[in-house]
Structure 1
């Protein structure tokens, strides 16, 4: 996987996801990651093609964005899209503040 993002940008995105959106990450893993049984998800990488999570026992799950990202501001929109798609797939309501 390729990345247009600097190492510092990837670290900042991972830190933000893990500190502020751990529950959302788990929803993405359960819905769009195809792991409905997952109990924990930690954002471990961000590339142009996907967001990568480490779940439960250390397995890595790559969830494609649906498009190739070229700029850091696109990540937020792509995460919100994955979150909402996951909520819809799982039959749960998504929060409006996304």
Structure 2
């Protein structure tokens, strides 16, 4: 069973992703979703195995997208950022987008 993060970790990461990185959420969804033309994506949860996004396609179809962490299972909050950045980089490569530098 995947590691479960506490409510503070979930709230902190999800708030940051949805408030400050909504474009990254959309990019990840477009790269990994089987739905064509994703127009909306919000990160809704994560655990030690994957991140999860609620997505909407242009035709109104709603879905939940679960994407495994590229580096494998994690157990520490600090590892979540590393894995989301890795997902972003893979998404950029899949979509042919030049990734921005990471600080």
- Normalised TM-score (structure 2): 0.86
Structure 1 runs (4+) deviating above 4 angstroms are none
- Equivalenced residues, count: 98
Deviation at 1:58, TM superposition (A): 3.6
Task: Please name the residue that 2:92 is paired with.
Answer: 87
Point out the structure with the larger strand share: 2
Largest Rg, 1 or 2: 2
Computed over aligned residues only, the root mean square deviation of the Cα atoms, in angstroms, reads 1.6
Which residues of structure 2 form unaligned runs of 5+?
none
Q: 1:48-84 CA deviation, whole Å, 9 max, x = no partner?
A: 1110000114411101103011100000010000000
Change (3 A) 1:76 1:92: same
CA–CA distance in 1 between the matches of 2:35 and 2:27? 9
Q: Give the Cα separation in 2 of the matches to 1:26 and 1:91.
A: 15
What does residue 23 of structure 1 align with? 23
Which consecutive unaligned segments of at least 5 residues does structure 1 have?
none
Whole-angstrom CA distance in 1 between matches of 2:69 and 2:36: 19
Report the TM-score when normalising by structure 1: 0.90
